[in-house]
Amino acid sequence: MQLYDPVYDTIRPEGIAYCANTSDVARSLTFAREHGLPLTARSGGHSYAGYSTTTGLVIDLSLMSQVTAKGDTAVVGAGARLIDIYSALPPQGVSIPGGSCPSVGISGLALGGGIGVVGRLHGLTSDNIIGLTVVTADGRVVAANAATNSDLFWACRGGGGGNFGVVTAFQFSAFPVGQVSLFGLRWPWSAAAEVLPAWLEWSSASPDPMWSNCLLQTAPGALAPVLSVGGAWVGNVADAKAQVAALIGTLGPPTSQAYGQHDYEEAMYIEAGCRGLTQAACHLAGKSSGGTLARTITLAKSDILNAPLGDAGVQAVLAGIQDRQGQGGMGAVAYDSWGGAINRVPANATAFVHRKALASAQYDATFPAGTPPSTLRAAETWLDSWYATLRPFVSGEAYQNYIDPSLANWQQAYYGANLDRLEQVKAKWDPDDVFHFAQSIPLP
């Protein structure tokens, strides 16, 4: 089965084990070790670096996709996609924090952190893990929670997917769902130098129920790039408008604005780009029966902003987008607001170390399958150059779920002060480095 990104279609595994249960995973892992095969586990297959596949054995978890809830606990199979979680849990009155891409698998998202539209109110996906079932490197099946194998539990909440074992099931603390109000605003590109810093100040000071993003992107064929602010308020639309009014009061009226109040499931479908689609249609075409979504080539890098960009930093951001606009190609930076519940967790309480952030930045260029290699190389050159110009204005931290195969000093960028402890957990649970890939946690 192919990954989300067609670039990695040339990697051909020796075999793919479609596992229906935890015992299948244990047997597959043992088989790979006995035959000296490299191995990797695959949930949604969205690794930006292609780490969801291998030339050896892929342990595919897509059949293990059950989603159930009992009271305020959700039990989720490791192969569940986000759109399936957002379809299954809200009718039971609850949900869990997650991202917006509908075909992302829960495992990679949760093990590496998991930012999303209710993160400021309810925390990261990883913060809401209360238990896991894990197949370890030696083929044992163990539970990991606050009382049992607590070191493994700590590492699996933000230490990144594929490092310590194969998680086959998650238990999450679930929250009750209610109404969510979505909004979208646009200003002309000429206002970008004022909008970006004002948005960053406003979003970081907003109450926890408010999440928002600021998107700057090229518009091939147009005279100028596009500037927009969108977001979600957990509550009614009148209160959402009252919150947004503070930003508008600083910047002046946008050229357009739209608001809507929705039940939780509908809001998540809209955020996922699946407005009007059925659950079946909101899967990848060719990978799921009835799926209609296209696979995409993505070039991406990330930053975590622990402080404002400053005037020079803002100008460097805008210059990169304007340069790409002049080349006529696709390119964007999306800033997502952090803070709130995310930042109230101590940096060493879980493996996820990034607890001072105002926002994250994801710089990317996306293309359809079949894009010529020369076009991809030109975009990569632009992205690398732009990223380099921004180094003086950012923290040096990066988001491990936006994994970047060309990132220098990735260990510190992803894990910071928690790296040493992660290495110790790795040495205990995977002393032979069975779960190894280019950016896996190293042995000490």
Query: Residue 1 above 80 pLDDT?
Result: no
User: Which pLDDT tens digit goes with each residue over 105-133?
Assistant: 999 999 999 999 999 999 999 999 999 99
Structural domain includes residue 71: yes
Structural domain includes residue 377: no
Query: Residue 351 above 80 pLDDT?
Result: yes
Q: Nearest CA to 283 among 23, 79, 40?
A: 79
Total domains present in the chain: 1
- 331, 324 in Cβ contact below 8 A? yes
User: Which pLDDT tens digit goes with each residue over 25-70?
Assistant: 999 999 999 999 999 999 999 999 999 999 999 999 999 999 999 9
- Which pairing describes strands 57-60 and 39-42: parallel, antiparallel, or unpaired? parallel
Residue 357 is predicted with a pLDDT of 98
Structural domain includes residue 161: yes
Structural domain includes residue 90: yes
State the DSSP H helix or E strand holding residue 377, giving kind and residue range, or none if neither: helix 373-389
CA 386 to chain CA centroid, nearest Å = 22
Residue 399 is predicted with a pLDDT of 98
| Domain housing 72 | 67-176+416-429
Q: What is the band of 385 on the pLDDT scale with cuts at 50, 70, 90?
A: very high
Structural domain includes residue 154: yes
Query: Residue 147 above 90 pLDDT?
Result: yes
Q: What is the band of 434 on the pLDDT scale with cuts at 50, 70, 90?
A: very high
Structural domain includes residue 369: no
Residue 287 is predicted with a pLDDT of 85
Query: Residue 347 above 80 pLDDT?
Result: yes
What crossing angle do the helices spanning 192-205 and 310-327 adopt, rounded to 10°? 120
Structural domain includes residue 137: yes
Q: What angle do CA 397, 401, 407 make, to 5 degrees?
A: 50
pTM: 0.97
Residue 288 is predicted with a pLDDT of 86
State percent of the chain over pLDDT 70.
100
Q: Mean pLDDT for the chain?
A: 97
CATH number of the domain residue 114 falls in? 3.30.465.10
Structural domain includes residue 48: no
State mean pLDDT over 219-228.
95
